[in-house]
Amino acid sequence: MTTAASVGDLVSQPYKYGFVTDIETEKIAKGLSEDVVRLISSKKDEPAFLLDFRLRAYRQWLQMETPDWAALGYPTIDFQNIIYYAAPKQRDKKASLDEVDPKLLETFDKLGIPLSEQKRLTNVAVDAVFDSVSIATTYKEKLAEHGVIFCSISEAVKEHPELIERYLGTVVPSNDNYYSALNSAVFSDGSFVFIPKGVECPMELSTYFRINSGDTGQFERTLIVAEEGASVSYLEGCTAPMFDTNQLHAAVVELVVLDDASIKYSTVQNWYAGDEHGVGGIYNFVTKRGHCRGDRSKISWTQVETGSAITWKYPSCVLQGADSVGEFYSVALTNNYQQADTGSKMVHVGPRTRSTIVSKGISAGHSANSYRGLVQIGPKAVGARNYSQCDSMLIGDQAAANTYPYIRSQQPLASVEHEASTCRMSEDQLFYLQSRGIAFEEAVSMMVSGFCRDVFNQLPMEFAAEADKLLALKLEGSVG
Amino acid sequence: MIRPDADVLLEIRGLHARVEDNAILKGVDLTLRAGEIHAVMGRNGSGKSTLSKVLAGHPAYTVTAGTVTYRGQNLLELSPEERARLGVFLGFQYPVEIPGVSNLEFLRVATNARRVQLGQEELDTFAFEDLVRERLKVVQMDPAFLDRSVNEGFSGGEKKRNEILQMALLEPLVAILDETDSGLDIDALRIVAAGVSQLATADTATLLITHYQRLLEAITPDFVHVMAAGRILRTGGRELALELEERGYDWVDQELAALELG
């Protein structure tokens, strides 16, 4: 067994979450037009401001071109061949979980996200999104006692329209880019979190996104607002069935933090990645941005990206408040024919703003993994500091790793540091561990988790071990 | 200590091996019994290191003929990790650095893999710390090395001590030490040699692979084998090492030439 072959086998583990739930789904016809945008809005019974928001975005989108600057290769997406709304058939939003279709509860059970009263996680509140709609949110009442709002964004539009109107689209303007415009026009569901002034959210919040339909795009929208002195830790997870076609996922996530507030946003992305020949898998085009509006505010992004055929994603921070802090910790693993172009943007506006970027890319098989990042220091960002570290690990000799760091500084009194390294998991390292009685798979996983430790340390404790396991599973069969 | 009735731990017969297209081992015969210390000496390129890698199961080497029997079992069928768990240990000439992997965690996982094989209970982090602190004394190693990544930034001598520490934890029955003396200063050599001597018992066999005889001043071998061109050319007692020291390796070449002519 050579190293290249057996790490190869390691990475090629069957995808555990590839099943399809057999459930009656209400879908609208394929294709996108102004009528479709109106139809989605009317299905959700939305207020006029939101329909206007959608239509404006749709018209902007029509004028825009798909971005082509990323190091990604894929066939042109036919946006008229996608269904923009699909929902499991059920009567309205359920008042209690008991009324939710048991098939849906079973689906989330299988995904390791039990929602029912008896089985659900004790310290994590979960919003479960299935195709285009949220089917349940746990611990809502308990959170409400603390003034915390955690619900689907559709529900928030109905219950708290003033908050939605005040914040939606203020961090990621709908015309920010092609996919944010598309999302703004057709977004179906997602989560809304509001942490009022001075409140530390008493539990972890989490949204679990599940794509079930084969011909449907998922366009989720998440908005998290932390008022003065508030703090919250939020985690999202994603999976999808295995289809031999590609599904489009184009999400927008907006975070707003006011004075002394903080949001920690973690992602474990495990969308279906396609098979070992690169057939099928999710096209993941995501815009995530946080706005540190207040002084001494803080946003921390942690992502573990293991899925999707294509990943195009740059969680960013606009550091406007004085002394605000932005962080980005990322592990991106690609295998087989996966392609990832991911990184972060740190835009320093206010004085003494600080940012940290730690990116770990692991490329196996025939995959391509690129880090792309921008550190921008504006003229008023006196004393701003950035530290970036981008490390790549290659497994086998067919994979590619690239780093594209961009630094723009208009402020002489700022410091920007960038470090990068590339290493290859070598046969001799694996042999060394094996010659001490450590099984091959464990040796690979020890080396990978050692490589990723700086990032895993940032994940909420409940999920760090899971992320470790997930990577080991994804790598099963890829070294060797 | 030679006891002709002691158990045979490792028996190598007619071993041939190659790396890529180069035949390196061309018929090695060697028997290690419990309690014995063997030294294999020879020039660079004689096949000494290859022998050690083949015995440990390095995937770059292919065995083309011959047998290796470890306590009655066909060693060549086993994966490197199975060999290690069963008690075959290779101390590397150049231990690799493994950034990010904690030395302490690595030692614990390795020790537990061996313990499970022996039917012993796995050690938790606390019990293992106690054990490792005690074994550190064998090589007089600073506990600070436990908190670093495996071999990362270690000096040559520290790497070799870390190898012997692993041996002390794994308690192998057959220890193969490849050029453990290379790159060591006099003090480090003394410490490493004392560690190896301490770990060589009546139940274990030790195979020292070395270029120089200075290691053999610290550890007295029962047998000395001279290796050349992929074979063991001569076997003797410790006096053979002294003879090599005195006469150099030139006579080996002459003997080899004579052998090939004959």
User: Chain B: residue nearest A432 by CA?
Assistant: B96
In angstroms, the Cα distances linking A191 to A4, A136, A255, B54 are 42, 11, 12, 58
Quote the DSSP letter at residue B95.
Answer: P
Nearest residue to A368 via CA among A308, A291, A428: A308
Q: Compare CB distances from A432 to B92, B113, B149 and report the shortest one's residue.
A: B92
Does the pLDDT of residue B231 top 90, yes or no? yes
pLDDT digits (tens, 9 = 90+) for A245-274: 788 889 999 999 999 999 999 988 888 888
DSSP E strands: which ranges in A339-440?
339-342, 345-348, 354-363, 368-377, 385-394, 400-409, 415-424
ipTM of this predicted structure = 0.95
The pLDDT value given to residue B34: 96
The pLDDT value given to residue A346: 98
8 A C-beta contact, residue B60 and residue A427: yes
What percentage of chain B exceeds 70 in pLDDT? 99
pLDDT digits (tens, 9 = 90+) for B173-186: 999 999 988 888 88
Does the pLDDT of residue A9 top 50, yes or no? no
Give the mean model confidence (pLDDT) for residues B140-147.
93
The pLDDT value given to residue B237: 92
Residues of A in contact with B54 (CB under 8 A): none
The pLDDT value given to residue A396: 84
Neighbours of A423 (CB within 10 A): 15
Ordered strands of the B231-236 beta sheet: B88-91, B174-178, B205-210, B37-42, B223-228, B231-236
* Burial class (CB within 10 angstroms; exposed 0-12, middle 13-18, buried 19+) of A277: exposed
Nearest residue to A445 via CA among A469, A415, A410: A469
User: Given an 8 Å threshold on Cβ–Cβ distance, is A435 in contact with B81?
Assistant: yes
pLDDT digits (tens, 9 = 90+) for A62-91: 999 999 888 888 888 899 999 898 887 765
The pair of structure tokens assigned to A160 is 């708290």
Q: What is the Cα Rg of chain B in Å?
A: 18
Is residue B90 within 8 angstroms of chain A, CB to CB?
A: yes
The pair of structure tokens assigned to A289 is 């941005």
User: Given an 8 Å threshold on Cβ–Cβ distance, is B109 in contact with A453?
Assistant: no
Q: How far apart are CA B39 and CA B238, in angstroms?
A: 9
The pair of structure tokens assigned to A468 is 């470790």
User: Given an 8 Å threshold on Cβ–Cβ distance, is A429 in contact with B96?
Assistant: yes
The pair of structure tokens assigned to B239 is 């006096």
Is residue B20 within 8 angstroms of chain A, CB to CB?
A: no
User: Given an 8 Å threshold on Cβ–Cβ distance, is A437 in contact with B100?
Assistant: no
Q: Are strands B223-228 and B231-236 parallel, antiparallel or unpaired?
A: antiparallel
Q: How far apart are CA A54 and CA B230, in angstroms?
A: 77
Q: How far apart are CA A128 and CA A142, in angstroms?
A: 17
Q: How far apart are CA B51 and CA B47, in angstroms?
A: 6
Please, which residues 417-446 of chain A have a Cβ atom closer than 8 Å to chain B? 423, 426-429, 431-440, 442, 446
Give the mean model confidence (pLDDT) for residues A347-357.
97
Residue located via tokens 């005040």:
A166
> Which of B239-242's residues contact partners 24+ apart within 8 Å by CB, and which partners?
B241/B39, B241/B41, B241/B213, B241/B216, B242/B213
pLDDT digits (tens, 9 = 90+) for B66-96: 999 999 999 999 999 999 999 999 999 999 9
**Domains of chain B from N-terminus onward:** 8-261 (3.40.50.300)
User: Given an 8 Å threshold on Cβ–Cβ distance, is B106 in contact with A436?
Assistant: yes
Residues of A in contact with B58 (CB under 8 A): 431, 435
User: Given an 8 Å threshold on Cβ–Cβ distance, is B59 in contact with A428?
Assistant: no
User: Higher-confidence residue: A395 or A114?
Assistant: A395
User: Given an 8 Å threshold on Cβ–Cβ distance, is A427 in contact with B59?
Assistant: yes
User: Given an 8 Å threshold on Cβ–Cβ distance, is A432 in contact with B98?
Assistant: yes
User: Given an 8 Å threshold on Cβ–Cβ distance, is B166 in contact with A429?
Assistant: no
Does the pLDDT of residue B253 top 60, yes or no? yes
Q: Compare CB distances from A3 to B59, B113, B170 and report the shortest one's residue.
A: B59
Residue located via tokens 């849906």:
A104
The b/e string for B81-109 (b: 16+ C-beta within 10 A; e otherwise) is bbbbbbbbbbbbbbbbbbbbbbbbbbbbb
Q: Compare CB distances from A436 to B100, B110, B117 and report the shortest one's residue.
A: B110
User: Given an 8 Å threshold on Cβ–Cβ distance, is B79 in contact with A434?
Assistant: yes
Q: How far apart are CA A129 and CA A221, in angstroms?
A: 11
What does the mean pLDDT of chain B come to?
A: 93
User: Chain B: residue nearest A442 by CA?
Assistant: B109
User: Given an 8 Å threshold on Cβ–Cβ distance, is A437 in contact with B117?
Assistant: yes
Does the pLDDT of residue A94 top 60, yes or no? no
3-state class percentages of chain B: helix first, strand second, coil last, to nearest 5: 40, 30, 30
Residues of B in contact with A429 (CB under 8 A): 96, 98
Q: How far apart are CA B169 and CA B166, in angstroms?
A: 5
Residues of A in contact with B85 (CB under 8 A): 437
Interface contacts A/B by beta carbons within 8 Å: 80
Give the mean model confidence (pLDDT) for residues A170-176.
96
Nearest chain A Cα distance for residue B192, angstroms: 19
In angstroms, the Cα distances linking B198 to A60, B88, B135, B157, B241 are 78, 17, 11, 18, 22
Give the mean model confidence (pLDDT) for residues A433-462.
86
8 A C-beta contact, residue A346 and residue A377: no
The b/e string for A51-70 (b: 16+ C-beta within 10 A; e otherwise) is bebbbbbbebbeeeeeeeeb
Neighbours of B115 (CB within 10 A): 19
Q: How far apart are CA B192 and CA B194, in angstroms?
A: 5
A277 contact partners, CB below 8 Å, separation of at least 6: A336, A337
Nearest chain A Cα distance for residue B229, angstroms: 25
Does the pLDDT of residue A298 top 90, yes or no? yes
Is residue A3 within 8 angstroms of chain B, CB to CB?
A: yes
8 A C-beta contact, residue A171 and residue A287: no
Residues of B in contact with A436 (CB under 8 A): 81, 84, 106, 110, 113, 166, 170
Nearest chain A Cα distance for residue B215, angstroms: 24
pLDDT digits (tens, 9 = 90+) for B176-213: 999 988 888 888 899 889 999 999 999 999 999 998 77
A144 contact partners, CB below 8 Å, separation of at least 6: none
The pLDDT value given to residue B186: 87
The pLDDT value given to residue A3: 39
